[in-house]
Structure 1
Amino acid sequence: MSATAPAILYRQHLDVLEQRATAALERGGFDHLVVPSGTLHYQAFDDRDYPYAVNPHFKAWAPLTRNPGSWLVFTPGRRPTLVYLQPFDYWHVVPEAPGGYWVEHFDVRIIRTAEEALQHLPQPVARCAIVGEPQSALGDYVPDNPAAVVDYLHYHRAFKTPYEVAMMREATLRGVRGHHAAERAFRAGASEFGIHLAYCQAARQDANELPYGNIVALNEHGAVLHYTELGRLPPQDSRSFLIDAGASHGGYACDITRTHAADTAGEFQAMIEAVDAAQLKMCDQVRAGTDYKRIHLDAHLALAGILREFGVLRMSPEAALETGVSSAFFPHGIGHGIGLQVHDVAGFAASDGGGTIDKPAGHPYLRLTRVLEPGMVVTIEPGIYFIDMLLDEVRKNGHGDAVDWNRVETFRPYGGIRIEDDVVCTGDAPENLTREGFAAAA
């Protein structure tokens, strides 16, 4: 991006947000959209707060992620108002006055206590659609998240503006730096915890700034889909390494997974390369008019084909999908929407008026069932895992003969493989933010 691009892209982004908010308010019969940034939540029987997470509806308007107690107000036909909490506080660092390319588009009201926001919020309250967490209530301004408004906003949030894609591209560059550092640490013999620290250092974000907890898994731990234990000592023999880790920029996330083998000439490395090649073909399916459910089912066929090629499965890919055997090796969905949240909202939305699109029978963990359209950004993350409890179910269900268990034992010490990219659906060929990020860092 050039130095002037963010300001231009943001202005266009704000125009889209205002159009969407105006339509959503009309749907719900309201005059004002009121969005709290969120508040600090405190632990039970303690004075320590949980890590603060900003309301995604708030950071959609302003790239502010560390400002609890602030509010956003939009009334159609008027400049949006930012009620910005800048407290008197000698215990913590006080947020600086808002600045940057986006501020000129807001009527900014600085407040010193959270309660002062009340004098800047529109009345009557009954004419306000208040979108946020219940804990963000202030006086009579209690988030009620009216369905007509939220359904509309969530549905259209799937379509990213060029500004949002630019923010995700910047997040990706941070994530790529972290992934390169993590691989170096793995090959140097570091522990999971040490790899995690190397990642955070390179991405220049700590655990609370990352969009989700890093999954850093050595050897068999790669078979745990959300392995976040971060062992403090390295294993005696580091055979494989799976890392699922992202980064944030301007309130937007990237989500990247890579798998590495210690022996770059061995059979597990060959399987990684086969999954990577199949994953690239799946990424190419991210095109306008493609049913995302179809990509998921095609992924099962492709991964079952790889398992058959490596001697793990004795049945055809079609039979593996039909019998559910493929789900024992690939038990999660092919991906999800991504943007302001890692698992972005409205993945099942039938329309901006509500309703849902069902998941395929037998595939309960798919997080997106919509037909792809230009502007959508999705992840594509196929995986092959050797998970004991799921493989036991294959035996119990009478399909044990379809598996070569000796081959399973060969790959079991490596845990699993997952490759994940963030991909933009366009009017033409898809744009792979992740591969572009790795290429730029090469």
Structure 2
Amino acid sequence: MTLANLYPAHVSELQQRAQNVLARENLDALVIHSGKELKVFLDDMSYPFKVNPHFKHWLPLVEATNSWLIINGSDKPKLVYYQPVDFWHKVIALPDSYWNAFFDITVITKATDIEQVLPYDKKGYAYLGEHIEVAQALGFDSINPEPVLSYLHYHRAYKTAYEQECMRKSNAIAVKGHIAAKQAFLAGETEFAIQQAYLKATEHTDNQTPYGNIVALNENSAILHYTALERTAPAAHKSFLIDAGANFHGYASDITRTYAFEQNKFADLIKRMDQLMLNAVAGLKPGASYVDLHIATYLDIGRVLQEFGFLTVDADTAYEAGIISTFFPHGLGHHLGLQTHDVGGFMADERGTHVNTPEQHPFLRTSRVVETNQVFTIEPGLYFIDSLLADLKASAHADMVNWQSVDEMRPYGGIRIEDNIIVHQSHNENMTRDAKLD
């Protein structure tokens, strides 16, 4: 099925959601602001523009500043598209695509012209967007009402067939980059050069990736959100961790791989963690608890630590002592979609009832029950982080660790392997593996 074939049902679903929440909250319409450029302090330059995810949920316009959607859930949605007359910058003309026919389109050449399109009396109209000062200047009283946002965020976890196809394409683009990055690593390139290889293969700029790519060699792989990109190659290439995604029509992919430069114990550890990751993927089933899956994987990582001689005790003892967190300090994964860490992960219902994560696992990014048409990342990790290891060595549980074996792995940093999964009723769809990334 093409995007054009899938799109009508997507818009119909969003219309139904809008109609439901408007009726429930006694509102007439949602007014969704795409956003505007933000200026650098004391400068005439702007930060990279990131469109309001509520806006790009409806249509694939990710660079449309000062544009608006007016939606009442019944009539054809109205798109107010900002297309200025400007000789300083390239003006992005209104695209002619499969989605145009589903909107009543008005083009404005000045951002302030939105005042002439919106009704004078904004009662019953809810503004959704980042720029509160704009909403207030326009006369909105209802600005980002929490019950509306909770409803929309809760239901955004259920991806339409159109959204799923966008995410398959996003994964396919990212896989091209990952393959190019691996080749650059094996050729002995620097982190900076590997990043450039990735961007060239994906045809993305730094600002177009859904998040700042993590391109880490050797011990830098132990820094969970490493983005420094060293320009000098290390004395020897030992390991490479890349956490990098792509965007397609505003939908993110989020993929991680770890490689060893030589076939050694670290390479064997990567293979074992890959098996563990795929086992966790198999545990994603409708009705299952993501929290329980995380805890089961947490214990599995303890078994890996035991198998490879990093522990002097069995995995169950290490689990009870809480020391596995030293080696796996983050959550198993998160919802994925219009944002890398997509919304709604802690909601029990469309009212936004919050479901806490266990106290022992504070970094989990979702506590929600797994359901069909949800999309997740699965990304277990095993790291040798100096600061966490120092805390453990100074604790009462220090003798549970084989420090000689741990010290041998410090120069390699750590391992994370991450795939993007669509949960179907009968099976899980691993978009990353389907795109031919082992």
Fold conserved (TM > 0.5)? yes
What is the CA distance between 1:139 and its match in structure 2? 2.1
- Deviations 1:202-260 (Å, cap 9, x if unpaired)? 00001111000000000000000000000011111010000000000001000000000
Q: What is the deviation of 1:313?
A: 1.2
* 1:208 corresponding residue in structure 2: 207
Match of 1:162 in 2: 161
User: Aligned runs of 1:190-269 on 2, under 5 Å?
Assistant: 190-263=189-262, 265-269=263-267
The correspondence for 1:34, drawn from 24, 27, 31, is: 31
Q: Confirm or deny: 8 A CA contact 2:123 2:140 kept in the other structure.
A: no
**Separation in structure 2 between the aligned mates of residue 203 and residue 295 of structure 1, nearest angstrom:** 32
> Of 107, 114, 117, which residue of structure 2 is paired with 1:117?
114
1:321 to 319, 322, 326: 319
Structure 1 unaligned segments of length 5 or more: list them.
Answer: none
The SS at the match of 2:62 is: coil
Q: Which amino acid aligns with 1:147?
A: E
1:21 to 11, 18, 23: 18
User: Could you tell me which residue of structure 1 aligns to residue 383 of structure 2?
Assistant: 385
| Contact kept in structure 2, 1:134 and 1:144, CA below 8 Å | no
Per-residue deviation at 1:32? 0.3
- 1:423 has 2:421 as partner: yes
Q: What's the counterpart of residue 408 of structure 1?
A: 406
Aligned twin of 1:307:
305
SS at match of 1:45: coil
Q: Distance in 2 between matches of 1:56 and 1:346?
A: 13
- Could you tell me which amino acid in structure 1 is paired with residue 12 of structure 2? D
Q: Give the TM-score taking structure 2 as reference length.
A: 0.98
Identity across the alignment (%): 45
Question: In 2, distance between residues paired with 1:32 and 1:216?
Answer: 44
> Are the equivalent residues in 1 in contact too, given 2:33–2:68 (CA < 8 A)?
yes
Contact 2:274 2:417 in 1 (8 A): yes
Kept in 2: contact 1:40–1:52 (CA 8 A): yes
What is the CA distance between 1:142 and its match in structure 2?
7.1
CA distance in 1, matches of 2:31, 2:160: 22
- Structure 2, gaps ≥5 residues long: none
Amino acid at match of 2:181: A
Partner Cα distance (1:430, 1:314) in 2: 36
Task: For residues 360-408 of structure 1, give each alpha carbon's deviation from its aligned partner in whole angstroms, at most 9, with x where no partner exists.
Answer: 1211110000000001000000000000111122123311111000001
**Equivalent position of 2:269 in the other structure:** 271
Length, aligned pairs only: 436
> Which of 381-390 and 22-31 deviates more?
22-31
**Distance between the aligned counterparts of 2:121 and 2:337, measured in 1?**
33
Aligned to 1:108: 105
Q: Secondary structure at the match of 2:353?
A: strand
Give RMSD over aligned pairs: 1.2
Q: CA offset at residue 148 of structure 1?
A: 1.1
- CA gap of 1:73–1:340, structure 2 versus 1, over 3 A, is same
Q: Secondary structure at the match of 1:354?
A: coil
CA deviation string 1:405-438 (max 9, x = no partner): 0001111100000000011111011111111112
Amino acid at match of 1:57: H
Residues 1:52 and 2:54 aligned together: no
